[in-house]
Amino acid sequence: QVHLVESGGGLVQGGTSLSLSCAASGRPVSSLSMGWFRQAAGKEREFVATISPITWSGWNTKYADSVKGRFTISRDSAKNMVSLHMNSLKPEDTAVYYCAVDPSGSPSMRAADYDTWGQGTQVTVSS
C-alpha cells in the first residue's frame, strides 16, 4: 500500500516558479509509475505530467501540452519523492495539484488508470 503526501503549494505571482513535492511511503518511487494531475474549480481533473518506473523500457516522462517546456517532473529515489518543478506560471495554472500512482506500471495520462492519490495541494497564480 502506497501513501502519498503532497506539499509546496501556495500563492505566487504570474511568471514565477514553484516546486511541488510528493512524498511516498510504502513502496520505492523508482518502481512506480507516478503522475501529477490538477483540478481547477468547476473543472475536471486533468493530466499534467507522468514519470515512468526505472524498469520501463520506453519513454521516461510525458507532459500535457499546456505545461510542456514550463514544468518538469523528477524523481528523488533517496528521499522517495517525486517533484513537479513549475516555471513561468500562469493564472490558468491555478488548481489543486495531486500526485498519484498507476498500479499497472505502464505510465498513463488518464486519471482513471491511477488508483492511489494524495490529498492535493493548492496552487494559486495571480496575474
DSSP label at residue 86: E
Q: How many other C-beta atoms can be found within 10 angstroms of the C-beta atom of residue 65?
A: 6
pLDDT recorded at residue 17: 98
Q: Where are the alpha helices (DSSP H) in 1-127?
A: none
Residue 69's contacts (CB-CB under 8 Å, 6 or more residues apart) are none
pLDDT score at 37: 98
| pLDDT score at 57 | 80
- Amino acid letter, residue 35: G
Question: What does the radius of gyration of the chain's CA atoms come to, in whole angstroms?
Answer: 14
Note whether 97 and 45 are within 8 A (CB).
no
pLDDT digits (tens, 9 = 90+) for 67-123: 999 999 999 999 999 999 999 999 999 999 999 999 988 889 999 999 999 999 999
> Is residue 3 over pLDDT 80?
yes
Q: What is the pLDDT of residues 23-79, one digit of tens each?
A: 999 999 999 999 999 999 999 999 999 999 988 887 789 999 999 999 999 999 999
pLDDT of residue 25: 96
| pLDDT number for residue 48 | 98
